[in-house]
Structure 1
Amino acid sequence: MTSSSGAEQSAQTPQQAPGREQWSGQVGFLMAAVGSAIGLGNIWRFPGVAYSNGGGAFIVPYMVALLCVGIPVLFLDYALGHRFRGSAATTFRRLSRRFEWLGWFQVLICFVIMSYYAVIVAWSLRYTVFAVTTAWGDDAQGFFFDYIGLGEISSSGTPAYSATPVAGVVVPLLLVWVFGITTIARGVSSGVERANRVFLPLLVTMFVLLVGRALVLPGATSGLNALFTPQWSALGDHTVWMAAFGQIFFSLSVGFGIMLTYSSYLRRRSNLVGTGMVAAFANSSFEILAGIGVFATLGFMAFREGVAVSDLEGIQGVMLSFVTFPTVISEMPGGALFGTLFFASFSMAGLTSFISIIQVVASSVAEKFALTTPRATLVVGVPAALLSFVLFGTSSGLYDLDVVDAYINNIGVVASAIIMCAGTGLVLRRLGMLQRHLNLVSETRLIGSWWRLLVAVVVPVLLGYMFVQTAWSFLTDGYDDYSLAFTAIFGWGVLFLVAVATAVTTLLPWRTPVDDFEPLALDTLEGVK
């Protein structure tokens, strides 16, 4: 411990700023971080991506991506948030005034994501009730389309926006928003941490039970063989490697403010490196567990239909969760219990991620405009909830959601991560300071020059390649089978509105003394326990 009381006081002052919330401890933060990382994409995205990109061989590029992209960017988020003690907007303002806009860009991305993410969680909540009686009967697809109001417009040809609200979605969507706003308004320790302490263990317990049941189904082995049989030739395909990097990047919730914001509430001495490793591998372990459960179930479906697993449709995305799985559930013994477990787990995974997204937006607004946490939560939550109902709670909600999600994630989020890594490493040249911060606050000093190389060069190059390929494809070929007008409005149009809102919020004056902050003096951390 340093003997200089003056230096110690100056170092602690910014850390103990009045009104700054903190996690109750390292475990509370870890559960919140894991709860955020484990979301809907782990269950419906990873199994399909792995299956279509080499099966068991996909684990090789997946692990490379985890080590070379996922964990390094996660550490960058942790280091920025913990050192500069603020939300995304506050942190980038304190890092450099030139980069405040990047913080608001991440905030606005989260605002859009939470508006449609809530709708998927609402669907899963409603399906938890449907599962009790397997209400979808023998036509899971027709039931789902009718439930979300798509049945009346799915046969009309080219997708178009419809303002017709869907009555069956309104109530669960309202419950999701009440839960999210209430949880964030209660604060970090009393709201976010407490929710994750309840939901995360329940999620893991229920999903383990679900996987155990799936593994004893007839045909489960063929499903697992389809998922894990290595197709080594796929490793020579660059698109497989890009798919692995994309999966890791999106599943860890890095690059768009979530982990940065969460780490800002950690105490002065926090094991950032150790916690980051645990969170990253816990997330990946759950993804593999989800893959086992999903494909054991699909193996049973293939067994019942007398076809190969490769001949099944709907192995990824919304159709997997709300059409393929309900179809299987109707055919299996004890399907109602299995379905209830699945959709309850799915709902909890969504809720823990949902509150983390709201936290990014609410904390930035609260800090810039000097609002209390409850008031800031209402300021951002109510408009986002209205957007949910108007755009995604209508009979065209699935179409709207699909396009907005594709453009926000593949263009907005990837661009944010590229700029964050390249800007911090090559423009501002602050990675050396952040590397030292990670090592000094952690129990082990594992972060070396390799981390700076990965963040400043490797990650921007890899993600840059993904960005250029995707953007060019969207510009020349559009997205899926949607009309150019539809993607122009819900794809490029939403990104344009995010850019405009980013400029406006950046130019608005701060009502809190954000520039009076002094970062933690690294020398005072030597020997701190």
Structure 2
Amino acid sequence: MSTTVHEQAEARRGAFSSRRVFVLAAIGSAVGLGNIWRFPYVAYENGGGAFVIPYLVALLTAGIPFLFLDYALGHRSRGSAPLAFARTRRATEGLGWWQVAICFMIAVYYAAVIAWALRYTFFSFDEAWGDDPEGFLFGDFLQAGDPGVDATIVPGVLVPLALVWIAVLVVMVLGVQKGIGATSVVFIPVLVIAFAALVVRSLFLPGAGEGLDALFTPDWGALGDAAVWAAAFGQIFFSLSVGFGIMITYASYVHRRTDMTGSGLVVGFANSGFELLAGIGVFAALGFMAQANGVAVGEVATDGLGLAFIAFPTIISEAPAGALIGVLFFGSLVFAGITSLISVIEVVVSAVRDKFEMTRRNAALVVTIPSALLSLVFFSTTSGVYVLDIVDHFINRFGILLVAVVSMLVLAWVVRAMPMLADHMNRNGSVRLGQWWLVLVSVVAPAALAYVLVRELIDNVQEAYEGYPGWMLGVFGWGAAAAVLVVGFVAARLRWRHPEALTIPDDRVVTEEGGQP
């Protein structure tokens, strides 16, 4: 396949117009709901201010090195996750499709949380949750009964969820620059401004200082606890969007001579900076809530759905100018969620386009419409919140973590592709990847993530997650984690429409043994 033909193929795939657009898109993917509702509580629970030390160690020894690995795969191969792995060694294509299947699963449920946040943005104006935010969330809004499968549709969730998917479909059809790039250029600055305004407002609430003291007062003894270090590596990994195809895909849309290592540092530290900003805003608000109710901060500190849809509505109801806080907080969740959802669904769209030589429009329709239908069927019902909680937990732990560990080990010790990938990054990179990077991505990062994975496995085997019925955990938990693995490797058995696509774009053919001939 000639270079000219490859260039034509790249032109059809689309590209980011500049490094700035790519960086904003990558930050948009990395900065998601987890930054806002997961990091503050994880830091609080694992040593407060002292958590900064293992967090930075994890960022520098695992997060950014793994980000460089994803960038190297995508930028060198000029392809989606499956094509990137196939061009590295044909037999590893299944790892890419495993990542694609994970992204498809995440997109289906992630959209539901964005829909909830969209609805709560408007609820903030009249504080529709009244005096009982928890009862309102599970009762009036989600209409959730006991855990189980109930197909009763909840119109209050169905409508905003449909709107989210319509918006995503439009962005996907518009393409890499006009859709993803343009959305990121607008949404990321708006997100930063909105959340910064929320932080400033929260800092002036009575009790904000107590909240910040609770978050940042260091517990130096926590540094001797292996669980704290495991939490740091887990948080960095989940928050950077590495290991499941997103950064591989985005890197494939970047100009060949782009400084990818410098871009990676910007993305990594921007993501962590936003997490720190989220911690300040969230705990300042929790400090106000604790003082207003005459309790310790620890009694109101929480994460996930509890923080977003129970604690913050309580804060909004009690705080001066509560409606403003509500609009800023839930609006930030919507903006952060949309940019992350777009990146997740793009992994699937890009893979389908590469494998079957489809147009952008057709691939977007083929991927987004089924995703939307599944999302509406499972997550606009009265049982949706329970299914979402289970799928999210197991896909994150035994989907994303597992495929990341396996991918690193295969690339490092089976394919032995790390030196080749380092050479590619060093051509135009401002940070040289030397022996230190090879050690981190071949030994340190996989060992740390494997430890986190084993801990999670033991915890979930010893005790049923959140006390859900065994059949629900089997179907939507362990079953979902197994399904993405099976689907991934079955997809790899399908023939490429044009097998010559498996050659590297600059005519350096990859052999079955990996590397260059």
TM range (shorter): over 0.9
CA contact under 8 A between 1:123 and 1:172: conserved in structure 2? yes
- Return the alpha-carbon distance in structure 2 between the equivalents of residues 448 and 15 of structure 1: 30
Bigger Cα displacement from structure 2, 473-482 vs 230-239: 473-482
- Return the alpha-carbon distance in structure 1 between the equivalents of residues 368 and 69 of structure 2: 28
1:383 and 2:334 aligned: no
Correspondence for 1:527: none
- Return the alpha-carbon distance in structure 2 between the equivalents of residues 167 and 326 of structure 1: 21
- Counterpart of 1:123, as a letter, is W
TM-superposed CA distance for 1:441, in Å, is: 2.1
1:306-345 → structure 2 map (5 Å cutoff) = 306-312=294-300, 315-345=302-332
Label 1:109 to 1:446 Cα distance change in 2 as closer, same or farther (>3 A): same
Of residues 423, 440, 449, the one that matches 1:454 is 440
Correspondence for 2:470: 484
Bigger Cα displacement from structure 2, 433-442 vs 316-325: 433-442
1:277 and 2:270 aligned: no
- Counterpart of 2:481, as a letter, is L
1:51-90 → structure 2 map (5 Å cutoff) = 51-90=44-83
Label 1:427 to 1:324 Cα distance change in 2 as closer, same or farther (>3 A): same
- Counterpart of 1:364, as a letter, is A
Correspondence for 2:515: none
Between the aligned residues of both structures, percent identity stands at: 51
Label 1:520 to 1:445 Cα distance change in 2 as closer, same or farther (>3 A): farther
TM-superposed CA distance for 1:516, in Å, is: 5.0
1:200-215 → structure 2 map (5 Å cutoff) = 200-215=188-203
TM-superposed CA distance for 1:445, in Å, is: 4.1
- Return the alpha-carbon distance in structure 2 between the equivalents of residues 206 and 215 of structure 1: 14
- Counterpart of 2:277, as a letter, is L
Of residues 235, 252, 262, the one that matches 2:240 is 252
Correspondence for 2:514: none
- Return the alpha-carbon distance in structure 1 between the equivalents of residues 311 and 247 of structure 2: 33
SS where residue 62 of structure 1 aligns?
A: helix
1:476-515 → structure 2 map (5 Å cutoff) = 476-515=462-501
Label 1:204 to 1:291 Cα distance change in 2 as closer, same or farther (>3 A): same
Label 1:514 to 1:386 Cα distance change in 2 as closer, same or farther (>3 A): farther
- Counterpart of 1:242, as a letter, is A
1:115-514 → structure 2 map (5 Å cutoff) = 115-151=108-144, 153=145, 156=146, 159-312=147-300, 315-442=302-429, 444-514=430-500
Q: Which runs of 5+ in 2 are unaligned?
A: 509-517
SS where residue 441 of structure 1 aligns?
A: coil
- Return the alpha-carbon distance in structure 2 between the equivalents of residues 467 and 511 of structure 1: 37
Label 1:326 to 1:445 Cα distance change in 2 as closer, same or farther (>3 A): closer
SS where residue 128 of structure 2 aligns?
A: coil
- Return the alpha-carbon distance in structure 2 between the equivalents of residues 174 and 117 of structure 1: 13
Q: What RMSD in Å do the two structures reach over aligned CA positions?
A: 1.6
CA contact under 8 A between 1:223 and 1:300: conserved in structure 2? yes
- Alignment length, in residue pairs? 507
CA contact under 8 A between 1:35 and 1:200: conserved in structure 2? yes
Correspondence for 1:6: none
Bigger Cα displacement from structure 2, 71-80 vs 503-512: 503-512
CA contact under 8 A between 1:74 and 1:254: conserved in structure 2? yes
SS where residue 416 of structure 2 aligns?
A: coil
- Return the alpha-carbon distance in structure 2 between the equivalents of residues 15 and 282 of structure 1: 32
Correspondence for 1:104: 97
- Return the alpha-carbon distance in structure 1 between the equivalents of residues 438 and 4 of structure 2: 27
TM-superposed CA distance for 1:12, in Å, is: 7.5
CA contact under 8 A between 1:148 and 1:394: conserved in structure 2? no
TM-score, scaled to structure 1: 0.93
CA contact under 8 A between 2:142 and 2:385: conserved in structure 1? no
- Counterpart of 2:73, as a letter, is L
- Return the alpha-carbon distance in structure 2 between the equivalents of residues 10 and 377 of structure 1: 28
- Return the alpha-carbon distance in structure 2 between the equivalents of residues 496 and 13 of structure 1: 38
Bigger Cα displacement from structure 2, 509-518 vs 280-289: 509-518
SS where residue 12 of structure 2 aligns?
A: coil
Label 1:521 to 1:511 Cα distance change in 2 as closer, same or farther (>3 A): closer
CA contact under 8 A between 1:15 and 1:85: conserved in structure 2? no
- Counterpart of 1:163, as a letter, is A
- Return the alpha-carbon distance in structure 1 between the equivalents of residues 240 and 5 of structure 2: 32
- Counterpart of 1:231, as a letter, is D
Label 1:247 to 1:12 Cα distance change in 2 as closer, same or farther (>3 A): farther
Measured against aligned partners, the alpha-carbon deviations of 1:2-59 in whole angstroms (never above 9, x if no partner) come to xxxxxxx977864563413111000010000001100000000000100001000000
SS where residue 16 of structure 2 aligns?
A: coil
- Return the alpha-carbon distance in structure 2 between the equivalents of residues 11 and 435 of structure 1: 23
- Counterpart of 1:139, as a letter, is D
- Return the alpha-carbon distance in structure 1 between the equivalents of residues 420 and 86 of structure 2: 17
Measured against aligned partners, the alpha-carbon deviations of 1:367-400 in whole angstroms (never above 9, x if no partner) come to 1111111111111111111111122221111111
